């Protein structure tokens, strides 16, 4: 197995299963554009798992194939190669993490791929002890908005085990005034999940930022609160 064969396998599957009706159907979810074959998410998940378990498949092959697939801008090509990583975590190294970080410049240009990394791939590096929170510090200041978004999305997984949420809140403070909507959504999502687990700590942080942060962050963060609870986080005019 080599990277050229993997690229051929992925593209062949995508072409064989292309569905223009699905392209039209799903395009409304991607305001920045949606260049796709029209595969469903179950199809993407299934073929990624199948290919990852193909005889002779290694992490090296996937990592070598990834740049061409990510640069192609076809939604499914990127999605499949990213999800293949989910099935190969035993082979991860610190170098793997560093390489993944370079992919945002190549073509991680939508929320779905950023969140695939943030929810399914990047937390594996943390759980394996290959990286720590501070290793994402440069990501917070990345020129690529979807790399910045991936940080709070990754931290959602850390909420289960983090002994101190204030450390996580301080880490994402720079994102509380980020200029990009997609980052607002990811940050608000993280804060909403934090609130579900530890409302008092989270509310203290939100009160600190309610008059300075973009309203979309506060909107997402308070989404599960009652109308009465939300009133506390209205911006003072």
Average of per-residue pLDDT across 198-222: 96
Structural domains of the chain in order of their starting residue, each with its CATH number: 134-237 (1.25.10.90)
Largest CA distance in the chain: 62
Rounded Cα gap, residues 192 and 141, in angstroms: 22
Tell me if residue 236 falls in helix, strand or coil.
Answer: coil
- pLDDT category at 31 given cuts 50, 70, 90 is confident
Average of per-residue pLDDT across 201-221: 96
Average of per-residue pLDDT across 127-148: 97
pLDDT of residue 1: 84
Which residues, including other chains, have CB under 8 Å from residue 147's CB and lie 6 or more apart?
101, 104, 108, 114, 139
The CA R_g of the chain, rounded to the nearest whole Å, is 19
pLDDT of residue 32: 82
Q: What is the mean pLDDT of the chain?
A: 96
Handedness of CA 221, 172, 119, 124 (dihedral sign): negative
Place of tokens 């759980």: 127
- The pairs formed by 224-228 with CB atoms below 8 angstroms and a separation of 24 or more are 224/192, 224/195, 224/196, 225/195
Say if CB 159 and CB 189 are below 8 A apart: no
Which DSSP state fits 164? Answer: -
pLDDT per residue as tens digits for the range 152-185: 999 999 999 998 899 999 999 999 999 999 999 9
Q: CA distances (Å), 111 to each of 114, 148, 186, in order? A: 5, 11, 9
pLDDT of residue 127: 95
pLDDT per residue as tens digits for the range 89-109: 999 999 999 999 999 999 999
pLDDT over 90 at 120, yes or no: yes
- pLDDT category at 87 given cuts 50, 70, 90 is very high
Q: Quick one: tokens of 50?
A: 């199948």
Rounded Cα gap, residues 205 and 189, in angstroms: 14
- pLDDT category at 23 given cuts 50, 70, 90 is very high
Place of tokens 């911006």: 235
pLDDT over 80 at 237, yes or no: no
- pLDDT category at 235 given cuts 50, 70, 90 is confident
């Amino acid at each position: 197995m080599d990277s050229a064969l993997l690229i051929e396998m992925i593209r062949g599957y995508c072409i064989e299963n292309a569905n223009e009706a699905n392209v039209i159907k799903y395009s409304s979810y991607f305001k920045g554009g949606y260049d796709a074959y029209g595969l469903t998410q179950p199809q993407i998940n299934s073929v990624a798992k199948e290919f990852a378990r193909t005889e002779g498949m290694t992490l090296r092959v996937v990592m070598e194939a990834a740049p061409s697939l990510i640069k192609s801008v076809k939604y499914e090509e990127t999605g499949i190669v990213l999800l293949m990583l989910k099935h190969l975590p035993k082979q991860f190294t610190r170098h793997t993490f560093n390489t993944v970080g370079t992919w945002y410049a190549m073509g991680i240009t939508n929320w779905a791929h950023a969140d695939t990394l943030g929810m399914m791939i990047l937390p594996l590096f943390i759980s394996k002890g290959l990286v720590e929170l501070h290793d994402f510090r440069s990501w917070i200041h990345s020129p690529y908005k979807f790399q910045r978004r991936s940080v709070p999305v990754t931290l959602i997984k850390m909420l289960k085990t983090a002994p101190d949420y204030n450390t996580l809140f301080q880490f994402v403070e720079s994102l509380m005034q980020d200029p990009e909507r997609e980052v607002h959504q990811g940050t608000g999502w993280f804060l909403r999940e934090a609130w579900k687990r530890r409302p008092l700590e989270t509310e203290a942080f939100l009160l600190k930022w309610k008059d300075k942060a973009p309203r979309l962050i506060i909107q997402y963060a308070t989404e599960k609160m009652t109308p009465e609870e939300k009133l506390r986080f209205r911006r003072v005019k």
